[in-house]
Amino acid sequence: SAFSSALWPILGLVFLPWTTLMYVIVAPGGVTGFDWVWIILMVIADVAAYGGGGYGNRKQIPGMGSGD
């Protein structure tokens, strides 16, 4: 099992879904060497998804968009 309790996968799927998915893929053999590159890439993908969503919705809140 990749996780010792049910709390971590639930939190992972809510806050860092791509990272959690990659961890589940690489963890059974142990996270070593090049596996860390995949984990870091997925953290970047999760952060980019949050940032892209925030940037795309910036005009939904008055005063948040540039030039408003």
The verdict on residue 23 lying in a domain is yes
The verdict on residue 15 lying in a domain is yes
The verdict on residue 64 lying in a domain is no
Q: Residue 18 is part of which domain span?
A: 7-57
CA distance 67 to 31: 46
CA distance 57 to 2: 35
Domain count, the chain: 1
The verdict on residue 68 lying in a domain is no
CA distance 5 to 29: 18
11-59 pLDDT, tens digit per residue, is 988 999 999 999 999 988 888 999 999 999 999 999 988 777 666 666 7
Global pTM?
0.70
The verdict on residue 1 lying in a domain is no
The verdict on residue 65 lying in a domain is no
The verdict on residue 67 lying in a domain is no
For the cut 60, the answer to whether the pLDDT of residue 61 exceeds it is yes
Query: Model confidence at 65, in pLDDT bands (50, 70, 90)?
Result: low
